[in-house]
Amino acid sequence: FEKEDYINAFRYFNEANKKSENLATLFAMGSSLYYLYAFDKAIEIYKKMVELEGEKIHSIEKLMCSYDHIGDIENTIYYCKKLIELLDNEDEFVSEKIDGYAILFDIYIHLERKNEARNIIKKIEEYSNKNINKATEIGVMELRWSYII
């Protein structure tokens, strides 16, 4: 899509939202802003969604990604941990949960917080041992352990 497409989409969904605020139009508005790199504005909308519907996977994930894009590491970590908590109760989201752990691992390595990175590896090992068939399907065994040795 082109930038103009996202601008037009935002305008359309904004008008629809003025007539009847709902989660679908809010999510579409937030997504349009996200793809326009207007992360601060997208964050406002995703937070409003959390106010309206509680903590749901799709809004928490978008908050995590938006904070990551603006370089707010502490909020990225916070929402990544929230996302992993939400995914704990969902058996079908094995790869998404491991992705969340991988994001935390990368952040901790970047911040040179090696003990926290090691703890993430332990959690991935524990989780993959419980879900070994699903985990090997998505390649969790390919993690590069050399980062923290």
pLDDT value of position 98 = 85
For residues 146, 64, 72, 2, the Cα torsion angle rounded to the nearest 10 degrees is 100
For residues 32, 47, 103, 136, the Cα torsion angle rounded to the nearest 10 degrees is -80
Q: What is the pTM of this model?
A: 0.81
pLDDT value of position 147 = 46
DSSP code at position 55: S
CA distance 13 to 15: 5
Please write the tens of the pLDDT for every residue from 77-112.
999 999 999 998 777 787 788 889 999 999 999 999
CA distance 65 to 131: 26
pLDDT value of position 145 = 44
Q: Are 28 and 4 in contact (CB under 8 A)?
A: no
Please write the tens of the pLDDT for every residue from 10-67.
999 999 999 998 999 999 999 999 999 999 999 999 999 999 999 999 999 999 999 9
